[in-house]
Chains A and B, each alone.
Chain A
Amino acid sequence: MLKLVGAMLIVLATTLIGFRVAGAYRDRPRQLRSLIRALTHLQAEVEYQTTPLPVALQNVAARGSPPCSTMFQRVSDHLIKDGMTVSEAFRVSLVRLVGESALQSADCEAIQSVADSLSTMDVTHLQTQFQMALEALRQAESGAREHGLKNARLWQYLGVLTGVILVILLY
């Protein structure tokens, strides 16, 4: 009886691990899309409305969905309360974003390059920076969507089967 409960717990644990990893693969394209939307919005705020950056970031955060919206909110908070430079604020927040979401640090480098140029370049140069970042993110998104579904299913199978094989060998 106890053995059976243990076996079920092992299978349950590995299945959950498998689904968790699969979930990260599923979430990544969605989070990349929301990041693209947020960046487009930020571009509009900066280029056409010339909103002050902390306010623009707050607007972006209010319209977006987590975890990207919390990232922009944090950048805004860092700018207002902690007095960081734009580049620093983005760097700190992006590191936290990578830790919390399914995004990879390569995805965030595009945002970082925009952030580095936000305070130093004029509108025309900013436009090319935004375009480059958006292009990189779009490419990452289509790649993530292609690999994501395949890998998600693979990890689900892998989780369940690893649990079953462990139980068989230990039982």
Chain B
Amino acid sequence: MTPEIRDVFRIFAVGFIAAILHTVLKQSGKEDFAHWATLVGFVAVLAIVVGYIDHLYREITSVFLLQ
């Protein structure tokens, strides 16, 4: 399994669990915590993705010779 595919699965799993956490917390009446859980999940995914976004921008600048 390439690292990219692994990250895709990782993002999927984090999103899935964040969704479950959100529903569970919301059902037990702790809506504020539910929103925090979603936010934490979003940040976690962002931390995984940020390297790829950086890579993408470098690629674009080099392809179009912007530097």
User: A residues near B, CB below 8 A?
Assistant: 150-151, 153-154, 157-158, 161, 164-165, 168-169, 171
With a cutoff of 8 Å between Cβ atoms, the chain A residues found around residue B13 in the complex are 164-165, 168
B28 an interface residue at 8 Å Cβ cutoff? yes
Q: B10 and A158: CB pair below 8 A?
A: no
With a cutoff of 8 Å between Cβ atoms, the chain B residues found around residue A164 in the complex are 13, 17
- Complex CA distance for A171 and B25, rounded to whole angstroms: 26
The 8 A-B residue pairs with the shortest CB-CB distance in the complex, in nearest-first order: A154-B28, A157-B24, A168-B13, A150-B28, A165-B17, A161-B17, A161-B21, A168-B10
With a cutoff of 8 Å between Cβ atoms, the chain B residues found around residue A161 in the complex are 17, 20-21, 24
What's the interface size class on B, roughly?
10 to 19
Taking CB as reference atom, which chain B residue is nearest A152?
B28
User: B residues near A, CB below 8 A?
Assistant: 10, 13-14, 17-18, 20-21, 24-25, 28-30, 41, 44
- Complex CA distance for A48 and B41, rounded to whole angstroms: 62
Given contacts A154-B30, A164-B13, 5 further A-B contacts (CB under 8 A): A158-B24, A161-B17, A168-B10, A168-B14, A169-B44
Taking CB as reference atom, which chain A residue is nearest B41?
A165
